[in-house]
């Protein structure tokens, strides 16, 4: 597939036997989500959230004689259930004849939620002051048990503020740096004992924060610092789709909060800290039935904190795992040989600045220290964050301070420096960051010195906590292939009943003549499914001929039907099909020729972009919107384009936009489509999250692509090849950030600033952001978009896109992207394969 996932077993369904839960069969006739003073629940009864997502009740862990009150997912099969929250984790009810029968969860006279044992003793209570005696407890569909004042409707207490070993979407983890309050996960002691175990997981107090798992007070695992969209010490890649984790700072209040949003709230997601210190992300939805562990840490020895000691580096693919960093030797060779690496490594040759000045003076001229670049690293712990505009400032600071041993310049964070031992360093095979290690002159290889010392490459961040929505999405996408195929077949059946006489059939010999036997000089470009040639028919008409490669996997029937679909469409913003040719192996489509080629050849070309002033761009945006509206609504067939992008917008003599390549996608086999989206990653930037995450496609997916296109038109930058101040690699994220900071005007392409109408530009940015909303329901239909573009109407506020503002991290992918971004051929092709 071309994607390197961290956890290859994520697609495998495997048993998830955590704790078998014994609940006494419910005696409630009508399940309710509300507990009132007059309606307590006792063992055997449960509360069920209104949407049937969560259930609260009494449970006895397997192999235990203790009873607890907890919350679990209602829609998970009983044997896969995991208790996500426990009220009385430290004060269990002992199961005796009286207790199991008569313990109850109730609202006391003081309005607090109370758990009473068989003797009416309070085992656990919420301990809040309630002003009215009229509080009620409600179990929400997020799994949050809230105590609400039924008069004022104020929330007095909620279970989400007391997380135990499970982090659910909608919760916040974090801390207050001023008050010292911490909201961490804490593991169960064992799988059948919910009392606090040894392991704790939460954010560190550093800036930027890291997630740690601690074993008691010792660090056990570390995520690496947060770069604004992900933790950089976790390698992995989401192709630009986010995992929904976010960290917010509130400097005035001192709050640092980590939140988690999931793409599809009707599926089961949770993060879970196991009793033995593993952190797992678990995903399940109606179709899977079995929970998947979609991500887990620590997976191998190298992920455990500091296995190789200071200045040691761990490499999972090497044996032994630990090595010393370049220029360092084991602290104790004996220990090292025995596999006891905790002592770490020491420097072979002192740095110049560490040397005794008087001995230095005697040794004569000394060469200055330099930096050795280490690629694909998990950056060490105990960093200091410095603000620096660029990486040379970071390097300067490090050179000027003798205690500085290494630095890194990280996209999204800026400058990190280290002054102590380099702890918990890992060598990744993919992803990771560049670390610049300070070494004395003699340790830097002489030949390498000049290269490595001052190479300041475009460092990027890497690592994302992989999320089920995406992983499973691809999985389901495959599963959906069969369904999609069937749907397509239906389309073809429909097309079969139509009149096919309208489209001229052009003889292959005529096409040969028109294109000079497909001469290379006539070749306009190479799409994913075959080359495109310019040609001149006998009557002098200029045409573009798309020749489908014989290995493109298209059946003649499907091809023919496709032609019929396209030939039925007529709109001035859609490119016209002039004819077709099917002779033997040859399958060709003949289009009207567009003199000004495709939009991307102007928009992303340093010199030609100037010709696209604002009026032209606005005209093109309007034209694309109308063409798309026609496809979605006005044409006799409802067509989803599925591959709208700048290179599929052709321009005629008068720079009128014409959407091309529409509907063609339908004739491609889905497997091929998938394969090709991975090969030509440039198209990825236009794909909506529900397509990538859920395999779902609708007109709103075209709306999404349209939104990307609008933002590209305004900024003159490609969504996917975007980097600005090295902060975000993705145009959408950058656009969102600017709008939130009321600096939307910074987005505008400098070559149109003088020619533009600010109200039009701002409206376009606003519309663009509305079109790229994460959720289908939040995106306007094309009919509204067309209205919005040409009228000064009030527009809804866009919400923050959480799933599409991620940056690209993977080194290999990045180089692919760079290739595509710099490849002029890719942008010149009229009809580019997806
Ligand atoms: C059940 O618990 C007992 C004592 O706590 C322990 O000895 C036994 O191994 C446990 N059995 C299982 C299956 O966990
Ligand atoms: C506990 O309280 C309930 C209601 O207040 C009462 O009916 C019950 O008899 C009490 N049980 C004991 C053992 O005191
Ligand atoms: C209840 O809260 C008060 C004030 O915060 C505290 O002093 C007291 O110890 C708490 N009681 C219990 C049983 O936790
Ligand atoms: C609740 O308060 C009202 C007046 O505020 C009082 O009449 C009622 O008896 C109280 N109920 C309980 C159960 O204490
Ligand atoms: C956690 O720490 C304890 C005590 O330091 C140690 O015995 C135990 O092996 C550690 N657990 C893991 C999983 O590293
Ligand atoms: C962080 O969480 C706390 C507790 O839920 C909340 O009071 C605070 O407003 C949150 N801060 C931010 C910046 O979200
Ligand atoms: C923790 O337990 C799980 C099974 O619940 C196992 O897969 C994992 O390897 C264990 N991890 C450690 C560090 O022992
Ligand atoms: C969300 O999940 C539900 C149930 O699994 C499914 O029916 C629905 O189509 C999903 N929605 C999206 C947008 O993926
Ligand atoms: C520096 O070197 C001189 C002579 O080489 C020696 O006497 C002195 O103790 C050294 N100082 C330190 C701090 O090592
Ligand atoms: C070098 O860095 C350390 C750690 O940040 C700092 O305490 C020290 O003051 C710095 N020294 C100089 C000369 O800047
Ligand atoms: C195309 O090829 C045919 C035979 O292969 C040849 O007769 C003809 O002259 C060629 N035409 C052109 C324009 O090259
Ligand atoms: C578009 O094509 C026409 C005809 O070839 C040409 O006159 C015009 O200059 C082109 N427009 C731009 C902006 O290049």
Quote the pLDDT of residue 556. Answer: 56
- Position with higher pLDDT, 95 vs 315: 315
Ligand 7 pocket test target in 198, 275, 278, 303 with most atoms within 8 Å of CB: 278
What strands lie across the sheet with 268-273, from one edge to the other? Answer: 166-167, 268-273, 279-284, 292-297
Three-state DSSP string of 752-770? CHHHCCHHHHHHHHHHHHH
Mean pLDDT of 290-312: 88
Distance (angstroms) between ligand 5 centre and the Cα of 197 equals 12
* pLDDT per residue as tens digits for the range 404-456: 999 999 877 889 999 988 999 999 887 788 899 998 888 777 444 333 333 22
**CA–CA distance, 475 with 345 (Å, rounded to integer):** 44
In the predicted structure, residue 825 carries a pLDDT above the cut 50: no
**CA–CA distance, 515 with 220 (Å, rounded to integer):** 67
Distance (angstroms) between ligand 8 centre and the Cα of 690 equals 9
* Pocket flag, ligand 10, residue 401 (CB < 6 Å): yes
Quote the pLDDT of residue 568. Answer: 74
Quote the pLDDT of residue 357. Answer: 59
Catalytic residue among 80, 246, 600, 643: 643
Quote the pLDDT of residue 223. Answer: 92
Task: State which ligand 2 atom lies nearest to the alpha carbon of 119.
Answer: 13
- Helix 758-771 with 782-790: angle, nearest 10 deg: 170
* Segments of the chain assigned to CATH 2.90.10.10: 7-299
Quote the pLDDT of residue 668. Answer: 31
* Pocket flag, ligand 6, residue 250 (CB < 6 Å): yes
Task: State which ligand 2 atom lies nearest to the alpha carbon of 120.
Answer: 1
* Segments of the chain assigned to CATH 3.50.4: 326-353+367-439
**CA–CA distance, 55 with 48 (Å, rounded to integer):** 4
* Pocket flag, ligand 2, residue 120 (CB < 6 Å): yes
Ligand 6 pocket test target in 247, 248, 255, 259 with most atoms within 8 Å of CB: 255
**CA–CA distance, 147 with 129 (Å, rounded to integer):** 11
Q: What is the DSSP string of 104-167?
A: EEEE-TTS-EEEE-TTS-EEEE-----SSS-EEEEE-TTS-EEEEETTT--EEEEGGGS--SEE
List Cβ<8 Å contacts ≥24 apart for 107-111.
Answer: 107/35, 107/36, 107/37, 107/40, 107/135, 107/136, 107/137, 109/133, 111/135, 111/147, 111/149, 111/156
Distance (angstroms) between ligand 1 centre and the Cα of 64 equals 8
Q: Specify whether the CB–CB gap between 429 and 317 falls below 8 A.
A: yes
Distance (angstroms) between ligand 2 centre and the Cα of 40 equals 13
- Position with higher pLDDT, 553 vs 650: 650
What backbone phi and psi angles, to 5 degrees, belong to 506? -110, 130
**CA–CA distance, 461 with 377 (Å, rounded to integer):** 10
In the predicted structure, residue 736 carries a pLDDT above the cut 60: yes
In the predicted structure, residue 558 carries a pLDDT above the cut 60: no
Distance (angstroms) between ligand 5 centre and the Cα of 270 equals 25
* DSSP H or E run through 294: strand 292-297
Quote the pLDDT of residue 748. Answer: 92
In the predicted structure, residue 807 carries a pLDDT above the cut 80: no
Task: State which ligand 6 atom lies nearest to the alpha carbon of 160.
Answer: 5
643 is catalytic: yes
* pLDDT per residue as tens digits for the range 97-115: 555 567 889 998 888 899 9
Which residues approach ligand 11 with their CB closer than 6 A? 512, 516-517
**CA–CA distance, 257 with 737 (Å, rounded to integer):** 19
* Segments of the chain assigned to CATH 3.30.200.20: 493-592
Three-state DSSP string of 279-292? EEEEEECCCCCCCE
* Pocket flag, ligand 12, residue 133 (CB < 6 Å): no
CATH number for the region 7-299 comes to 2.90.10.10
Residue nearest atom 4 of ligand 4, based on CA coordinates:
133
Pairing of strands 182-183, 185-190: unpaired
**CA–CA distance, 563 with 725 (Å, rounded to integer):** 46
When mean pLDDT is compared across 66-80, 233-247, 612-626, the lowest value belongs to: 233-247
Q: What is the DSSP string of 559-582?
A: HHHHHHHHHT---TTBPPEEEEEE
* Pocket flag, ligand 10, residue 385 (CB < 6 Å): no
In the predicted structure, residue 68 carries a pLDDT above the cut 70: yes
320 alpha carbon, distance to own chain's centre: 34
Distance (angstroms) between ligand 6 centre and the Cα of 257 equals 6
CATH superfamily of 493-592: Phosphorylase Kinase; domain 1 (3.30.200.20)
* Pocket flag, ligand 10, residue 386 (CB < 6 Å): no
Distance (angstroms) between ligand 8 centre and the Cα of 286 equals 9
**CA–CA distance, 296 with 5 (Å, rounded to integer):** 12
Using CA atoms in the order 113, 260, 166, 206, what is the torsion angle rounded to 10 degrees? -100
Residue nearest atom 1 of ligand 11, based on CA coordinates:
517
Ligand 11 pocket test target in 508, 517, 518 with most atoms within 8 Å of CB: 517
In the predicted structure, residue 277 carries a pLDDT above the cut 70: yes
In the predicted structure, residue 508 carries a pLDDT above the cut 70: yes
* Pocket flag, ligand 4, residue 608 (CB < 6 Å): no
Give the pLDDT band (50/70/90) at residue 96: low
Quote the pLDDT of residue 418. Answer: 94
* Pocket flag, ligand 10, residue 399 (CB < 6 Å): no
CATH number for the region 599-832 comes to 1.10.510.10
In the predicted structure, residue 826 carries a pLDDT above the cut 60: no
Ligand 9 pocket test target in 353, 354, 359 with most atoms within 8 Å of CB: 359
Mean pLDDT over each residue of the chain, to the nearest integer: 77
Tell me if the pTM is above 0.85.
Answer: no
In the predicted structure, residue 319 carries a pLDDT above the cut 90: no
Tokens of 792: 């000064």
Percent above pLDDT 70 for the chain? 75
CATH number for the region 326-353+367-439 comes to 3.50.4
Quote the pLDDT of residue 363. Answer: 54
Quote the pLDDT of residue 678. Answer: 31
Residue nearest atom 9 of ligand 5, based on CA coordinates:
215
* Segments of the chain assigned to CATH 1.10.510.10: 599-832
Residue nearest atom 8 of ligand 7, based on CA coordinates:
278
Residue nearest atom 6 of ligand 5, based on CA coordinates:
215
What backbone phi and psi angles, to 5 degrees, belong to 719? -55, -45
């Amino acid at each position: 597939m071309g994607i390197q996932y961290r956890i290859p077993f994520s697609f495998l369904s495997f048993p998830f036997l955590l704790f078998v839960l014994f609940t006494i069969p419910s005696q409630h006739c009508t399940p309710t989500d509300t507990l009132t003073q007059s309606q307590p629940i006792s063992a055997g009864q449960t509360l069920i959230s209104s949407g049937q997502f969560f259930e609260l009740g009494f449970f006895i862990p397997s192999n235990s004689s203790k009873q607890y009150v907890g919350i679990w997912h209602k829609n998970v099969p009983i044997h896969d259930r995991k208790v996500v929250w426990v009220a009385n984790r430290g004060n269990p009810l002992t199961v005796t004849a009286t207790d199991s029968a008569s313990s109850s969860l109730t609202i006391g006279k003081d309005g607090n939620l109370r758990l009473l044992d068989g003797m009416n003793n309070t085992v656990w209570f919420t301990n809040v002051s309630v002003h009215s005696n009229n509080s009620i407890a409600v179990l929400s569909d997020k799994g949050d048990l809230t105590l609400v004042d039924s008069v004022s409707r104020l929330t007095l207490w909620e279970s989400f503020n007391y997380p135990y070993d499970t982090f659910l979407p909608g919760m916040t983890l974090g801390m207050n740096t001023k008050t010292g309050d911490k909201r961490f996960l804490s593991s169960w002691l064992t799988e059948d004992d919910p009392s606090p175990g040894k392991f704790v997981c939460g954010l560190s107090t550093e800036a930027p924060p890291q997630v740690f798992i601690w074993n008691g007070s010792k660090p056990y695992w570390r995520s690496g610092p947060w770069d604004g969209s992900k933790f950089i010490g976790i390698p992995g890649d989401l192709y630009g789709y986010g995992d929904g984790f976010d960290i917010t700072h509130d400097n005035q209040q001192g709050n640092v909060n980590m939140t988690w949003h999931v793409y599809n709230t009707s599926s089961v997601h949770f993060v879970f800290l196991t009793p033995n210190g593993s952190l797992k992300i678990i995903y399940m939805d109606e179709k899977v039935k079995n929970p998947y562990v979609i991500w887990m840490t620590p997976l191998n020895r190298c992920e455990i904190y500091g296995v190789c000691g200071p200045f040691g580096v761990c490499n999972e693919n090497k044996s032994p795992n630990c090595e010393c960093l370049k220029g360092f030797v084991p602290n104790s060779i004996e220990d090292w040989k025995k596999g006891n690496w905790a002592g770490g490594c020491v420097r072979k040759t002192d740095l110049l600045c560490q040397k005794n000045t008087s001995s230095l003076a005697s040794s004569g001229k000394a060469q200055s220290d330099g930096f050795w670049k280490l690629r694909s690293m998990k950056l060490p712990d105990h960093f200091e964050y410095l603000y620096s505009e660029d990486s040379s400032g970071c390097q300067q600071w490090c050179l000027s301070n003798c205690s500085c041993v290494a630095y890194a310049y990280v996209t999204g964070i800026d400058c990190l420096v280290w002054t102590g031992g380099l702890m918990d360093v890992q060598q990744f095979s993919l992803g990771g960051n560049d670390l610049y290690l300070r070494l004395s002159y003699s340790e830097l290889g002489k030949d390498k010195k000049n290269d490595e010392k001052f190479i300041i490459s475009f460092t990027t961040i890497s690592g994302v906590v992989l999320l089920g929505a995406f992983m499973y999405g691809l999985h389901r996408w495959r599963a959906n292939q069969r369904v999609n195929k069937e749907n397509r077949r239906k389309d073809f059946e429909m097309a079969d009943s139509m009149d096919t006489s309208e489209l001229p059939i052009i003889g292959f010999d005529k096409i040969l003549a028109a294109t000079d036997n497909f001469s290379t000089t006539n070749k306009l470009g190479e799409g994913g499914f075959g080359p495109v040639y310019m040609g001149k028919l006998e009557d002098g008409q200029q045409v573009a001929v798309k020749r489908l490669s014989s290995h493109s996997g298209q059946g003649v029937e499907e091809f023919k039907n496709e032609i019929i679909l396209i030939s039925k469409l007529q709109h001035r913003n859609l490119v016209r099909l002039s004819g077709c040719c099917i002779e033997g192996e040859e399958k060709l489509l003949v289009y009207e020729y567009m003199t000004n080629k495709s939009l991307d050849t102007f928009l992303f070309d340093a010199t030609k972009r100037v010709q696209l002033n604002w009026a032209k761009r606005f005209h093109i945006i309007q034209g694309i919107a109308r063409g798309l509206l026609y496809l979605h609504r006005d044409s006799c067939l409802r067509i989803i384009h599925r591959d709208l992008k700048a290179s599929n917008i052709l321009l005629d003599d008068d720079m009128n936009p014409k959407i091309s390549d529409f509907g063609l996608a339908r004739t491609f086999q889905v497997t091929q489509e998938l394969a090709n989206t991975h090969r030509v990653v440039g198209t990825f930037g236009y794909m909506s999250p529900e397509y990538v995450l859920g395999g779902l496609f609708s007109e709103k997916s075209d709306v999404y692509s349209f939104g990307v296109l609008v933002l590209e038109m305004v900024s003159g930058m490609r969504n996917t090849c975007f980097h600005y101040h090295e902060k975000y690699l993705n145009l959408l994220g950058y656009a969102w950030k600017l709008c939130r900071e009321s600096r939307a005007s910074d987005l505008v392409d400098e070559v149109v600033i003088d020619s533009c109408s600010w109200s039009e530009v701002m409206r376009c940015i606003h519309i663009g952001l509305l079109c790229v909303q994460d959720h289908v329901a939040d995106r306007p239909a094309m009919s509204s978009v067309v209205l919005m573009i040409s009228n000064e109407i009030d527009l809804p506020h866009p919400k923050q896109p959480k799933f599409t503002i991620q940056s690209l991290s993977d080194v290999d992918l990045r180089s692919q992207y760079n290739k595509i971004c710099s490849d002029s051929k890719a942008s010149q092709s009229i009809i580019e394969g997806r």
